[in-house]
Amino acid sequence: MNIFLILSSVLLNALAQIFLKVGMRAIGDVFAGKQDWGRLLVQAVGNPFLWAGFVSYGLSIALWLAVLSRVEVSKAYPFLSVGYIVTLFLGYFLFSESLTWEKVLGVAVILVGILLISKGGV
C-alpha cells in the first residue's frame, strides 16, 4: 500500500508538470518583450491545462502527506526522483524533447539509488 501511495503521489506531481507545460505553451513566453499582464492573467485563469496542473499538484500533496504519516521520510523522499524519469520520457514523447545517452544513464543511476535506499521495504 505504501509504494502505491508513493508512486501515485510522484506520478500526479509529474503529470502536473505536463499539464502546466501544455498550458504555458498555449500562453507563450511570459517574459518575451513587452507584456500585457492583465491579458496574461486572464489567459492563465481561463486555461484548463493550468487548472489541471494545480489540481494534480494538490492531489499529489494530499497523497504525499499520507505517505509521510506512514513511511520513514528517509525512505520515501528518494522516490520523488522517479518524477525526473517520468517527466524525461513524457517530455520526449509528448514534446519531442531530447533523449540523450547521458539522460538514459542518469535514469539508471537514479533507479540504482532508489533501489539501494529502499532496500528492506518502504
Domain boundaries, the chain: 2-118
Phi-psi domain of 71 (left: phi exceeds 0; alpha: psi -120 through 50; beta: other): beta
| C-beta atoms surrounding 80 within 10 Å | 16
Q: pLDDT digits over 68-116, tens only? A: 999 999 989 999 999 999 999 999 999 999 999 999 999 999 999 999 9
* CA pair distance 66, 105, nearest whole angstrom: 32
Mean pLDDT of 52-71: 98
The grid cell for 73 is 521520510
Return the pLDDT at 118: 83
34 pLDDT tier (thresholds 50, 70, 90): low
Q: Taking a C-beta distance cutoff of 8 angstroms, is the pair 79, 14 a contact?
A: no
